[in-house]
Amino acid sequence: MKSDLDLLIQERGFDAIVVMGSAHENPAMAYITGGAKISSAFILKKPGETALLICSSMERDEAAKSGLRIATFDDYHFLDHVRASGNRFEAFIRLYVEVFQRNNVSGTVSFYGLGSPGTSYLLLKRLQELLPGVTITGETETTIFDRAYATKDTNELIQIRDVAARTNRVMAETVDFLKSHRARANRLIRGNGSPLTIGEVRQFINRRLMEQGLEASEGIIFAMGRDGGVPHSRGEDDQVLETGRAIVFDLFPRQIGGGYFHDMTRTFSLGYATPEVEHAYRQVMQAFDAVVNDLSAGERGEHYQELTCDIFEEQGHPTIRSKPGTTDGYIHNLGHGLGLEIHSRPRLAMASDEVLEPGQVFTVEPGLYYPEKGFGIRVEDTYVVEADGTFTSLTPYPKDLVIPIQDAE
């Protein structure tokens, strides 16, 4: 959690870290600033010291909300550097050098945040040349932020439980909305007799999310038939909802303006389900229940992916373990942590040695995909690991495959 950052910095042998970029869509920046809306900033943090946030003087009020130490680009003579160097890139480099020197930074400094890869490469290469006493680096696998994000503190868990409750509410409202329609010739119709499209359902969901203070910043998957069999297909807005076809509804909104995510999936079939879909649904639920019954603090994330592959393979399905690259059967990993990012640690995945521990929040989402047969199925809850090592689902919404739909007239 956030209070572990100092220790994590020291464990990796870093003497300081720098976080760069806008606070917008920049989780590392949002994490340290607590969500202050700053358009361009530079954060320097040494272990044991409050971070220093350097921003435009125009953003000083917003920056002050972070509770960090604040300085402005003017305090570090940005305009003088522009005048002396003749360009903004060089001016920023000189500003960084001044920041490092005036704050006595030496040793190894690791960089985070967001930027254009080519620009970052040139910037840090140049900074390295100008600061021979400093070793500039970054992280390439699990970073100190990934480690810190993985376990949530009390304040974060309050927000995460709240987002979960709101997301479950929107799921319930959406099912009620679907139920309020009638079927005619296998198609859902509205009160005025016109067909109901996926685009209209998506609009309904977006309105309900907003009323709950949430936003689908990463989109919404509402994918019917073959589209549901291709995990990253979002579903086509002009498609009319039909009875008897599997619909994968994956809802993963966050707090409006950037914040904590929830992630849940239900698979529905309107009116009735075909025997083929019903059978596959029971198989997915068998895997889901087996994983949930086996959840145990101290166990590795990889174990649950292996367990899921065991079950699906025993049922006769190909998996990415038995048939790498398959687009049929079980074709993804079991779950992922989430927080300010939709995908973070721990990973319940192949080659994950991460261990389940208190404070973590992660998904369990087995699925079966048969695009050629015209269906996909996925069921997903988000779990929190409690302080006592027990597991609580934050996704209590029921898991019924069939949504009853009345026929018109």
Q: Which chain residues interact with a copy of itself by CB under 8 A?
A: 20-21, 24-25, 28, 37, 39, 56-62, 74, 79, 82, 87-89, 110-125, 136-141, 143, 206-207, 210, 215, 217-219, 227, 230-234, 256-257, 324-325, 327, 331-332, 351
Of 96 and 397, which has the nearer Cβ to a copy of itself? Answer: 96
Smallest separation (angstroms) from a copy of itself to the CB of 172: 20
C-alpha–C-alpha distance, residues 86 and 95, integer Å: 13
Smallest separation (angstroms) from a copy of itself to the CB of 228: 12
* Tokens describing residue 123: 């910037």
Of 161 and 332, which has the nearer Cβ to a copy of itself? Answer: 332
Of 102 and 207, which has the nearer Cβ to a copy of itself? Answer: 207
Smallest separation (angstroms) from a copy of itself to the CB of 23: 11
User: Where does residue 388 fall: left (phi above 0), alpha (psi -120 to 50 degrees), or beta otherwise?
Assistant: alpha
User: Where does residue 351 fall: left (phi above 0), alpha (psi -120 to 50 degrees), or beta otherwise?
Assistant: left
Of 254 and 397, which has the nearer Cβ to a copy of itself? Answer: 254
Task: Residue count of the chain, please give it.
Answer: 409
Smallest separation (angstroms) from a copy of itself to the CB of 134: 13
Strand partners, 215: 254
Smallest separation (angstroms) from a copy of itself to the CB of 217: 8
Smallest separation (angstroms) from a copy of itself to the CB of 236: 10
C-alpha–C-alpha distance, residues 302 and 222, integer Å: 29
Smallest separation (angstroms) from a copy of itself to the CB of 184: 28
Smallest separation (angstroms) from a copy of itself to the CB of 321: 11
CA distances from 210 to 25, 33, 257, 365 (A): 19, 24, 11, 25
Strand partners, 391: 385
Smallest separation (angstroms) from a copy of itself to the CB of 78: 10
C-alpha–C-alpha distance, residues 75 and 226, integer Å: 58
DSSP for 304-360?
Answer: HHHHHHHHHHHTT--BTTTSTT-SSBB-S-SEEE-SSSSSEEEEESTT---B--TT-
Of 116 and 194, which has the nearer Cβ to a copy of itself? Answer: 116
Of 128 and 286, which has the nearer Cβ to a copy of itself? Answer: 128
C-alpha–C-alpha distance, residues 376 and 383, integer Å: 23
Smallest separation (angstroms) from a copy of itself to the CB of 299: 22
Residues 6+ away with beta carbon under 8 Å from 372:
226, 229, 328
Of 216 and 355, which has the nearer Cβ to a copy of itself? Answer: 216
Of 80 and 289, which has the nearer Cβ to a copy of itself? Answer: 80
DSSP for 61-114?
Answer: HHHHTT-SEEEETGGGTHHHHHHHHSSHHHHHHHHHHHHHHHTT--EEEEEEE-
* Residue found by looking up tokens 């810190």 in the block: 148
Of 111 and 177, which has the nearer Cβ to a copy of itself? Answer: 111
Phi, psi values for residue 402, rounded to 5°:
-95, 130
Of 69 and 77, which has the nearer Cβ to a copy of itself? Answer: 77
Q: Helix or strand or coil: residue 26?
A: coil
Q: Helix or strand or coil: residue 29?
A: helix
